[in-house]
Amino acid sequence: MLTDFFDLTGRIALVTGSSQGIGLAIARGLASAGATVVLNGRDQAKLDAAARQLTEEGLTVEAAAFDVTDHAGVETAISAIEARHGRLDILVNNAGIQRRGPFVDFPLDAFRDVQSTNVEGVFLVAQAAARGMIARRSGKIINICSVMSELGRANIVPYVTAKGAVRMMTKALCAELARHNIQVNGIGPGYIETELNTALMQDAAFSAWVEARTPAGRWGKVEELAGAAVFLASNASNFVNGHILYVDGGLTACV
C-alpha cells in the first residue's frame, strides 16, 4: 500500500531543538507516523514538559538534554541513544538561534554564537549520527534550512550566512554519504507562526509584508512542516538526496 512508504513504525528518530516550535511539531509528526522520537534541548524543564505533552497524546517519545555545540556532549548523547535503542535511523537537525541587528554594528561574539549553533551544531550532530548510519548502511538526515538559505534580508546577515551554509552542507553530505544508502535532505520553512516569531507576527507592518510577499497570502503553521519531515524520513524518499524542500507558501518561487 502507498501508506506503507510513509510508515515510520520501529524507527528511532532524534530531533534537536524540539522542546517547542518547529522542532516540537516535527517530533509530533514523526511520532504520529510510528517513530520513537528522542526530543532534545538545553532546558531540561521545557524538554520534560514537551515530552509529557506528546506522551499524553499517546506518542512514544523520550528526552535527551544536551547542547548541540558541545562536541563531547553530542558524542555522548548519540552513543547513549544507540546503546539504548540499538541504532539511530533518523536525525532532524533543527536546533538554531536568531540574532538581529544592523550589519555594521553587529557584535562579533553574537555572529559567532549564531554560526556555532546553526552551523557547527548541525555538523557535530550529523557527524556523530552518520558513523552508525554508515556502519548499518541506512539512515536519514534532515537539516532544517530556511527561505534565507536562498534569499537575503537586511538586519539578519549572520542568520542568512548560517542558513546558506546549512544548505550547502546538506548537498555536500549527500555527495559523501549517498553511497552508504544515507539520504541527506533539507526543509526550508518560510515565515512560520512560532513562539520565536511572536514579535514579528505582532508587528502589523511586517506581518502585512509577509502576507503580501508570500503567494499563499499568510504565515505558515508549524504543523504544516510535519508532512515534509515524514516524507523525507520515510521510504518514500529513498531516492531523494541533496534536496531542499521549501515549505514556504510559494515565497521562494517568485520575486
**What is the per-residue pLDDT across 96-154, written as a single tens digit (0 to 9) for each?**
999 999 999 999 999 999 999 999 999 999 999 999 999 999 999 999 999 999 999 99
Domain count along the chain = 1
Kindly report, residue by residue over 54-97, the tens digit of the pLDDT: 999 999 999 999 999 999 999 999 999 999 999 999 999 999 99
What pLDDT does residue 206 have? 93
Assess if residue 224 is contained within a domain.
Answer: yes
φ and ψ at 136, to 5 degrees? -90, -10
Marked catalytic residue, from 66, 111, 159, 191: 159
Instruction: Supply the mean pLDDT for the chain.
Output: 97
Band (pLDDT 50/70/90 cuts) for residue 4 is: confident
Burial of 3 from C-beta contacts in 10 A (0-12 / 13-18 / 19+): exposed
Assess if residue 254 is contained within a domain.
Answer: no
Assess if residue 90 is contained within a domain.
Answer: yes
Mean pLDDT across the stretch 149-167? Answer: 96
191 is catalytic: no
Distance separating alpha carbons of residues 109 and 114, to the nearest angstrom:
9
Distance separating alpha carbons of residues 147 and 197, to the nearest angstrom:
15
Band (pLDDT 50/70/90 cuts) for residue 14 is: very high
Kindly report, residue by residue over 89-102, the tens digit of the pLDDT: 999 999 999 999 99
Supply the range of the domain harboring residue 95.
2-248
Largest CA distance in the chain: 56
What pLDDT does residue 1 have? 65
Assess if residue 175 is contained within a domain.
Answer: yes
Mean pLDDT across the stretch 211-223? Answer: 97
Assess if residue 187 is contained within a domain.
Answer: yes
Residue 3 clears pLDDT 80, i.e. is over it: no
HSE-CB of 1 using CA atoms within 13 angstroms: 4
Give the rounded distance of the alpha carbon of 15 from its chain centre: 7
Distances (CA, A) of 77 to 84, 126, 134, 143: 11, 12, 18, 18
Residue 2 clears pLDDT 80, i.e. is over it: no
Q: Are residues 19 and 217 in contact, defined by beta-carbon separation less than 8 angstroms?
A: no
Kindly report, residue by residue over 27-49, the tens digit of the pLDDT: 999 999 999 999 999 999 999 99
* CATH at residue 179: 3.40.50.720
Assess if residue 170 is contained within a domain.
Answer: yes
Nine cell digits for residue 93: 537537525
Assess if residue 241 is contained within a domain.
Answer: yes
Distance separating alpha carbons of residues 37 and 28, to the nearest angstrom:
8
